[in-house]
Structure 1
């Protein structure tokens, strides 16, 4: 079902409001630092949590603290999810997903909508944070809207924005359900 720009704006406002209600705590930052093996630059909120409460995907501001534009607003941090998605990327499935985006009219329309929702979400976040988007205007993540470049980014969008936000993210989530699902804790990262 097509959603017009005002519908996307309203959806983005609601999503950003929900996400910003779960601003990153010091414990979240410490856990994500362990998950990534580095400090999570620009992290402002946890966008999705495991059933146990640990971060799965975070929301990163459009401009990092050093002034670097950062288009990847929804960022997958869960090591378990990252491993599962990496296996799908490694088996060559991205060609299949790109083929779907380019040749299946329904998937193409849904993927275009996912791109527009991502942009609306980031714009709303930038507005609330006072960040500029001028250097990343029109750029979303994961290869949207024309190809599939990074399944991690697309799965992160699905986790942060919910099922139905990104058709490829949804497909990958279904595919990795035996290894990773947000409603089944398989977390290995903890604060010591």
Structure 2
């Protein structure tokens, strides 16, 4: 298996992610998506944290604007709407393929038996966490995760418009 294409994190990236999260970032092995200013938006996290804890969420949304937008969608009842789209056979098939893609990405890094078969966000049968689904959509690109794509399309935040408090901080600008 080949490793998913994400950038090696720099010390500056990890520092920005820690500020974004308001706590020390754990297990960051890559930057899977960036804001237009260069700051991390999605980090790739090791399937097993440094302390040995299994961690199923490979793609973790770190950007405060993006996380706030997904929280707003969840709070305003968008999740049941998006879940209802899984009744469409094509959407359900694409969502199952997104789940399989997520698992393949994570297992190309490390196979962790405790989390085998579990991806993120409720995939492949339900919609549980828009943060995880949006992170996967941003990391994988449009057309891979239909629910993540739909959540991003409905969000007040866009990866094409910088809302960072520290533009360029990740790249030392």
**TM-score class normalised by the smaller sequence:** over 0.9
Contact conserved, 1:34 with 1:189, CA < 8 A, in 2?
no
> How many residue pairs align between the two structures?
168
Matched, 1:138 2:117: yes
Q: TM-score of the superposition, structure 1-length normalised?
A: 0.84
Deviation at 1:92, TM superposition (A): 1.2
Task: Indicate the residue corresponding to 2:99 in structure 1.
Answer: 115
Q: Is the 8 A contact 1:35 1:189 kept in 2?
A: no
Report Cα offsets for 1:145-190 as digits up to 9, x if no partner: 01000000000001111011100010011111xx322222111246
Q: How far did residue 50 of structure 1 move?
A: 0.7
Which of 55, 70, 84 in structure 2 is aligned with 1:70?
Answer: 55
Within-5 A mapping of 1:66-105: 66-101=51-86, 103-105=87-89
Superposition misfits of 4+ residues, deviation over 2 angstroms = none
Match of 1:106 in 2: 90
- Structure 2 residues without counterparts, runs of 5 or longer: none
**TM-score, normalised with respect to structure 2:** 0.93
Q: How does 1:1-192 map to 2 (within 5 A)?
A: 13=2, 16=4, 18-19=5-6, 22-101=7-86, 103-126=87-110, 132-176=111-155, 179-189=156-166
Matched-pair contact (CA < 8 Å) for 1:143–1:150: yes
Distance 2:127 2:117 in 1: 16
Whichever structure has more helix as a proportion of its residues is: 1
SS at match of 1:135: helix
SS in 2 for 1:188: coil
